[in-house]
Amino acid sequence: MPERVLFETESRIDRGEVASYLRTVADRLDAGDPVTLSAGGDSVTLDPPSRPTFEVKAEREGPEDGPGELSVEFELEWPEDADPGGEDADGLSIE
C-alpha cells in the first residue's frame, strides 16, 4: 500500500516544548476533538476514532560499535473509513 505524507516537520526544541505539544495532543484526544497540525503554510486536521491503534517504539540507529541515534515514537493509527473496536494496550506503562 503506498504511503503519502500529509504533514511533516522536524526541529530541535527543548524538552518543555515537546511536553507542551504532547500535552496539547493529549488534551484534544481526551476531549474527543480533532487534532490540527500546522507549520509554515502547511496544515492538516485529523480526527482519531475513540479507539485507535496506539504504537510505542524505542529505536537505536547506527553502527553496532559506535555512537548512534536514539528515538522514541508514539503513533496513532486507524482506518479512514471505520471506527474499529481496537486492541488492548497489553498493560503498557509509561513513567
pLDDT tens per residue, range 8-67: 999 999 999 999 999 999 999 999 999 999 999 999 999 999 999 999 999 999 998 889
Query: What residue spans define the domains of the chain?
Result: 1-47, 49-84
Beta carbons within 10 angstroms of residue 3's beta carbon = 5
Nearest to 56 by CA among 24, 30, 90: 90
Given this model, what pLDDT does residue 2 score? Answer: 87
- The DSSP element (H or E) to which 62 belongs, if any, is none
Are 67 and 60 a contacting pair, CB within 8 Å?
A: no
How many Å apart are CA 67 and CA 88, to the nearest integer?
35
For the record, the C-alpha cell of 93 comes out as: 506503562
**If pLDDT is split at 50, 70 and 90, which confidence band does 91 have?**
confident
How many Å apart are CA 6 and CA 43, to the nearest integer?
9
